[in-house]
Amino acid sequence: MKALLPLVLAMSLGSFATISSAHNHGVADVAAMADKIEPQVIKWRHHLHQNPELSNREFETAKYIEKYLRGLGLEVQTGVAITGVVAVLDSGKPGPTVALRADMDGLPVPEINDLPFKSTATGMLDGNEVPVMHACGHDTHMAMLMGAAKILTDMKGELRGKVKFIFQPAEEGAPTGERGGAEVMVEEGVLKNPDVDVIFGLHISANTDVGKVRYRHGGIMAAVDPFKIVVKGKQAHGAYPWKSVDPITTSAQIIMALQTVVSREIKVIDDAAVVTIGSIHGGNRSNIIPNEVTMVGTIRTLNKAARDHMYEAIPRKVKGIADSMRAEAEVTLPLDYSYPITFNDHDLMDKVLPTLVRTAGQENVINSKAVTGAEDFSFFQQEVPGVYLWVGGKPLDVSEEDSPAHHTPEFFVDDSGMKLGVKLLTNMTLDYMNASK
C-alpha cells in the first residue's frame, strides 16, 4: 500500500494543491501554536481522565468544557442530547461550516494503571455502583478538540465560514432504557443552524505509534447490530428427552449455523462480517429440559450489501433450524440500538489526504485496514460527508503486542500523541475552508 501513496496523492491534490503551497506558512504557524498549547492540552487530559463520567451522565465534564468554550468567546449551547456541548466559531466571512467532534463518556472499567492522574471515580449503572475509567481515550479526544478550538479561535482572521465544535455524550451507548449519543444529537439538529458541510473526527489508538495517523477510504469501522433470539420448546424431565422439544439443543444448532452465514454466504475476499453470540440463558437444573432459551449477540459488517445479507440470513437460518427441531423461534434484529458503518466519504478523503501528509509527514500516514469495532460518528456521516481517522497513542518503546487493548483496565495512551491530533483537526479545517473559495 505504501507504494501507492504518492500516486494517490498526485491524483487527490486537486483544489488542495494550491492551498498546500500557498499556506505552508499556516502549517508552520499551526505547528508552533500546537507546540505552545501542548502543556495545556495535557493538563486538560489529566483532569478529564481523573474525573470520568458514564454515558448520559457527563454533567461535570460538560460544565468543564462549557466554561472553557465560553472563555474563548464562543457561542455555546448545552444540554444537547442530555449532556452534549456545542460551540460555534463564526469568522464573519462567507464560507463552509466545518464540524469537529469529540466524545465525552467513560466506561464502567476499574483502572489499574499507576498514574498520577489515575481514575478512582465511580458511577451508577443499572442501580449498581461501578468504577469508571476513560478506557477508550475519550479524555484525549476532548483535550485535542479543546486545543484545536483555541488555535482556530486565535486564527479567526484566517478562517472563512464557521467551525462547529461538537462534544458528544454517550458514544459508548446509553444506559438501559435511555437513548443518547450521535443519533440523538442529529435528531436534535446538531448539524443544522448553521448547516454543516463536512465533519471530521479522530480516535486515539493504543496500538498505533505516537506521531502516526491511519486513514481509509470507505468503511473504516463496522456497522453494529445487536440481536436477540428466543427459542421456545416444550419442557420435560432430563431423563425423558423424547417427551420434550429441546430449546437448548436447538439453540446449539442455531449458534453453529449462524457462523456459516459468514463462512459460506459472505464473499469474504471482498467483505468482512462477524456474527457473535455473547450471552445464552436457559434452564435452572441439570435434570430439567426448559421451555425456553434466550440468546443475544452482535453483527458487525463493513458495507451495506453484507449488512443487508446478514439481516436476511439470520432469521432464515434461525427459522429453518427451529422448524426442523419442532421448536419456535423469535428474532429481534436490531435489538436495542444500531450503528451504521463509519464510512469515510471517498471524495472528501481524497481532499484531506494531502493535509494528513503535510501535517504528519508522508512516512507517518498509513492506509489502514478496516476494523470491526463500531463508532456512532457514523450517524453524522449519514447526514454529511465525513472523515474519521486513527491517531497514534502508543509509546515508541512499547511493542504493539504489549500495548494494552482499548476497554481494558490496563488501557494506556501517551500524552505526546495528542499534539498530532490537535494539528490535524486544525489543518483539516483550515485547508477545507481555503479550498472552498
Provide DSSP, 322-355: HHHTT-EEEEESS-S--B--EEE-HHHHHHHHHH
- Give catalytic status of residue 171 as yes or no: yes
Going from the C-alpha of 367 to that of each of 9, 201, 246, 349, 389, the distances in angstroms are: 12, 17, 49, 11, 10
What is d(CA 434, CA 93) in angstroms, rounded to the nearest whole number?
12
Q: Which of 160, 67, 60, 149 is nearest to 102 (CA)?
A: 149
Marked catalytic residue, from 58, 66, 105, 139: 105
> Out of 58, 171, 197, 246, which one is annotated catalytic?
171
397 is catalytic: no
Residue ranges in 88-209 assigned as alpha helix (H): 138-154, 182-187
* CA distances for 220 relative to 162, 308, 364, angstroms: 27, 18, 18
Q: How far is it, in rounded angstroms, from Cα 348 to Cα 359?
A: 17
Nearest residue to 52 (alpha-carbon basis) of 136, 147, 148: 136
> Could you tell me if 262 and 222 are in contact, meaning their C-beta atoms sit under 8 angstroms apart?
no
Helix (H, G, I), strand (E, B) or coil at 130: strand
Strand segments (E) across 172-309: 198-209, 213-215, 218-221, 223-232, 236-237, 273-281, 288-289, 292-301
> Which of 258, 262, 234 shows the shortest CA–CA distance to 248?
234
Q: Please report the sign of the dihedral spanned by the C-alpha atoms of residue 281, residue 323, residue 263, residue 270.
A: negative
| Closest listed residue to residue 167, CA positions, set 188, 187, 190, 151 | 190
Q: Is 422 helix (H, G, I), strand (E, B) or coil?
A: helix
Which of 195, 145, 143, 191 has its CA nearest to residue 379?
A: 191
Give helix 418-435 / helix 138-154 axis angle, nearest 10°. 50
Are residues 375 and 192 in contact, defined by beta-carbon separation less than 8 angstroms?
Answer: no
Amino acid at 162: K
Enzyme catalytic residues: 105, 171
